[in-house]
Amino acid sequence: MVDGHRLRAACGFLGPSAFTAAWVVGTMRQPGYSIANEHISGLAARDARRPEVMAAGFVALGACTVAFADELHQRLGGEGRAGPGPLLLGLAGAATIAGGTLRRDRMSNEPPPDGSGARQSAENDLHDLSSVIGQTAGVLGLLLLARRFRGDPDFGRWSVPAVAAATANAGLMSWFATDVTRPGNGILQRIGISIPLALMAAMGIRLLRRVPVTEG
C-alpha cells in the first residue's frame, strides 16, 4: 500500500509530468496553434479545440504542488521549523488550480481582426491574476526554501539549485510580461516554467528514495 509520504513525494514529479504532457498533447490537437508565439493557457481557452486537456494539466500540477509542499513542510520539521517556503509553494499550487479552472476568452494573444473582443471578461482577468499570484508565490517560495535548505544535512544540496531556478524563472517571466504578444514568447514561457518544474521533479524523486520509516 502506498503511504502518504510516498504519494506526496511522488507528486513532485507527477505534477510537472502531467502539466508538460498536457501542453504537448494540447498543441498537437490544436490546428493553427503556434507553440513559438502563443501562451500555454491559450490551450485551455474557450475557443480551443480540446480545452479540457490543458485545464486538467493545470489542475493536476496545482494539486500535486500543494501535496508536495505539504511533504516538504513535514520533512523540514513541520510547524516552527519548516519556514514559510512550503506555504508559499502550496499557495502557488492553489493559484495554478485556479488558473486551470478560470479560462481565457480566446486561444490567441492577438486581438481579432474585426476589433471584437477588445475587452476581456472578468474570468479572463481572474485567470491572469491567478497566474501572477502563482508565479510570485512560486519564486518567493523557492527563495525562502533555498535559505531554509542552507546547512541542512538532507536538503543543503538543493539550496543553490533553488536560487538558480527562482532567479531564472523570475527573469524570463518578467521579460515575458513586458510584452505578452512578443514573437517567441511561447518558447520563452515554456522555458521559464519548465526550469522550476524540473527542480521540483528532481526533488520529488530524491524524496521518494528517502521516505521516512514512520508515517507523519
Write the DSSP string, 129-175.
Answer: HHHHHHHHHHHHHHHHHHHHHTT-TTTGGGHHHHHHHHHHHHHHHHH
Q: Which of 68-77, 112-121, 152-161 has the lowest mean pLDDT?
A: 112-121
Q: What would the pLDDT profile of 11-62 be if each residue is shown by its tens digit?
A: 999 999 999 999 999 999 888 888 998 999 999 999 898 899 999 999 999 9
Q: How confident is the model at residue 202 (pLDDT cuts 50, 70, 90)?
A: very high
Cα 140 to Cα 130: distance, rounded to the nearest angstrom: 15
Determine the pLDDT at residue 216: 42
In percent, how much of the chain has pLDDT > 70? 93
> How long, in residues, is the chain?
216
Residue 215 scores a pLDDT above 60? no
Average pLDDT, the chain: 91
Top pLDDT among 108 and 116 is at 108
Q: Which of 46-50, 110-114, 136-140 has the lowest mean pLDDT?
A: 110-114
Q: What would the pLDDT profile of 90-101 be if each residue is shown by its tens digit?
A: 999 999 999 999
Give the residue extent of every domain in the chain: 4-108+123-209
